[in-house]
A and B are shown apart, each in its own frame.
Chain A
Amino acid sequence: MAVTTVAHHTTAAADTNTGGSGRTDAQTWGLIMIVPYILIFLFFVLYPVLYGFWIARKPESYVKLASDPIFWGTIRNTIIFVVVAINIKMLIALVLSGFFTAERWWVKALSTLFILPWALPSIPTILSWRFMLNPEWGIINQQIFRLTGEDGPNWLNDPTIALGFSMLVHVWKSLPFWTLILLSGRLAISKDLYEAASVDGAKSWHLFRHITWPSMQQLYFTCLILSMIWTLGDFNSVYLLTGGGPADLTHVLATLGVRYLRYDQIEQSMAAIVVALPLVLPLVYILMRRLGSNSGNKP
């Protein structure tokens, strides 16, 4: 508050006194202050990226990659992960963001618990999932045995189920984050719109279709794309739950690169990442257009 009054107080004088040495001073200082980030970018982003491309330059790496059945399985898993899991996750987030707008004390209390998966580090919680799913001592199969007298399935030993659980764990972990973002999008919509429509007798589905969705559409698709890109890099949900197994059948691109690295096949490792770029770069481009261009002015 105090600051704004000071600002107003001197605006008139300010016009006459810009430019000149103040500006060059600002440029010099600006340069000095931006240099640390530029150095970080050059040394730890640009150089590694260029070096990565250089490592992946040999055509043989791609031939080897293409002849590796694990690679094709990984591509398939990654696409399933990104297309299925992320769309389901964002749809649930959209529904839940509506749920959390309900003004009840217990919904508020629940929202505190709901962000637990996001607030807790993923390493111990994913390991907790892993132990729940253990075929012999895991709590799930113990309950199945108690109730039915039969042994439960060896969950993580079946590649389809194991991949499904990796997706589930990913959703479990990141759902709160996206729900919060969509919730803030919902709360930004003027209440007057809803009230006016309610007076006209609109049903809740109509409210959603004609008021909520048009206002949130942009945000929803931005989140969807962002989540898709980040999920390509979701190493933990797969690595800590299944380790890529059984028989390397549940790898995604994020874990495959590291797998090759561990077998000292760095060229193949980089090639696998380069191959994914045609998938990633268009999405990044769309996002840059969406978030970069209007970063100065309000949407």
Chain B
Amino acid sequence: MKMPSLRDVGTEAKLLLIGIPVFLWSVIPVYHMVLFAISPKDSAFQGHLFPEHPTTRNFMTVFKQQHHYLDHFWEQMLNSTIIAVSTGVLTLLVATFAAFAISRLKVKGGSTVMNLALFTYFIPAAFLAVPMYRTMGLYGLLNHQIALILAMVTLASPYAIWVFKQASDKLPVELDEAAYIDGASPLQLFRLVYVPLMLPSLVAVGIYALLLAWNEYLYAFLLLSKDSDVTLGVGLGNFLSADDSPWELLMATGLVYALPPAAIYYTFRKYMVSGLTAGATKG
């Protein structure tokens, strides 16, 4: 074995000099959340850096809905799930159809639609929130979960279409021609050739839309108002309505809320990174 040279040691030291702050920076707020979630109330508030008497009591309180902030915990969890899954599925349907029509069927006006979608993607979501809120009121959808689902599909589909179009443009044209010669209709081409080939992008975009909806706060709290209708994210925000909020319960609920999307993200990380950065690094 070769002794490391002075230069190697220097490089390692430099890497550590970046690595250690990066580690602390990334982990501290998350650690703080976990610390509060597993600490009994008194111990958490005394500023201990490590859990003295770790407990699952906070989680039990959350799951049994034993606090007035948590009266609708399970309902809100279900609401979040329904809204996220519906957004994911609807976005996939709308966006694959649109991208297929634009990229493979070369529908007339397709590039205009692509540009409009791209333009929508660039509008800051918070700017669209106020007029969207009013419009949903006019449509009579306000305080119905379908309003939030439609809003989230609106926000997610432009990027979805764009990613699909990028991926779809790379498939050889000959593929379509071959399918047509075999007597396939455009719909069969879509179902039997296009969708299977696009699977990695479909996974990435489906998860993107799902997480976007699960994590959304602004639209959820504007478009829904009843405690039994809102998502868990809005439920978390409601803890702030009083100064004496039970932080340990808020952090425990927050952790429960954060785990599913994090698990999904880490499971499909490979898809997420390749599928989404492929789109983003173009240009």
Output the least CB separation between B277 and chain A (Å). 4
By a CB distance below 8 angstroms, the chain B residues around A193 are: none
By a CB distance below 8 angstroms, the chain B residues around A91 are: none
Is A124 touching B161 in the complex (CB atoms < 8 A)? no
Is A287 touching B122 in the complex (CB atoms < 8 A)? yes
Give the contact stretch, choosing among A58-66, A68-76, A156-164, A226-234. Answer: A226-234
Is A110 touching B23 in the complex (CB atoms < 8 A)? yes
**B14-35 contact mask (Cβ, 8 Å, vs A): 1 or 0:** 0100110011011111101100
Does residue A150 face the partner (Cβ distance < 8 Å to B)? no
Q: A14-B181, A124-B255, A128-B251 are in contact. Are A33 and B98 (CB under 8 A)?
A: yes
Specify the chain B residue showing the minimal Cβ separation from A9.
Answer: B178
Is B32 touching A132 in the complex (CB atoms < 8 A)? yes
Does residue A127 face the partner (Cβ distance < 8 Å to B)? yes
Specify the chain A residue showing the minimal Cβ separation from B273.
Answer: A180
By a CB distance below 8 angstroms, the chain A residues around B101 are: 29-31, 33-34
Interface set, chain B 169-202, CB cutoff 8 A to A: 169, 172, 174-175, 177-178, 180-181, 185-187, 190, 193, 197
A10 to B125, CA, bound (A): 46
By a CB distance below 8 angstroms, the chain B residues around A4 are: 172
**A239-259 contact mask (Cβ, 8 Å, vs B): 1 or 0:** 110010000000001110110
**B144-168 contact mask (Cβ, 8 Å, vs A): 1 or 0:** 0000001101100100011001100
The one of B22, B126, B181, B239 that contacts A257, using a Cβ cutoff of 8 Å: B126
The one of A124, A188, A296 that contacts B257, using a Cβ cutoff of 8 Å: A124
Is A295 touching B94 in the complex (CB atoms < 8 A)? no
Specify the chain A residue showing the minimal Cβ separation from B116.
Answer: A41
Does residue B128 face the partner (Cβ distance < 8 Å to A)? yes
By a CB distance below 8 angstroms, the chain B residues around A31 are: 101, 107
Interface size on B, residues (CB 8 A): 107
A7 to B214, CA, bound (A): 40
Interface set, chain A 107-155, CB cutoff 8 A to B: 107, 110, 112-117, 119-125, 127-129, 131-132, 137, 139, 142-143, 145-146
Does residue A288 face the partner (Cβ distance < 8 Å to B)? yes
By a CB distance below 8 angstroms, the chain B residues around A270 are: 130-131
Output the least CB separation between A54 and chain B (Å). 9
Output the least CB separation between A29 and chain B (Å). 4
A294 to B15, CA, bound (A): 37
Does residue B250 face the partner (Cβ distance < 8 Å to A)? yes
Does residue A195 face the partner (Cβ distance < 8 Å to B)? no
By a CB distance below 8 angstroms, the chain B residues around A232 are: 124, 126-127
Interface footprint category on A: 35 or more
A37 to B157, CA, bound (A): 8
- Sample of 12 A–B contacts (CB below 8 Å): A14-B180, A27-B105, A30-B101, A44-B135, A96-B22, A99-B19, A113-B26, A116-B27, A121-B261, A123-B236, A184-B273, A240-B240
Extra contacts besides A37-B157, A127-B239, A128-B254 (16): CB < 8 Å: A10-B181, A29-B185, A30-B186, A37-B97, A49-B128, A112-B266, A117-B30, A124-B251, A129-B29, A139-B32, A139-B49, A229-B122, A253-B126, A284-B119, A292-B114, A295-B165
Interface on B for A, CB 8 Å cutoff? 15, 18-19, 22-23, 25-30, 32-33, 36, 45-47, 49, 93-95, 97-98, 100-102, 105-108, 110, 113-120, 122-135, 138-139, 150-151, 153-154, 157, 161-162, 165-166, 169, 172, 174-175, 177-178, 180-181, 185-187, 190, 193, 197, 214-215, 217-218, 222, 233, 236-237, 239-240, 247, 250-251, 253-255, 257-258, 261-262, 265-266, 269, 273, 277, 280-283
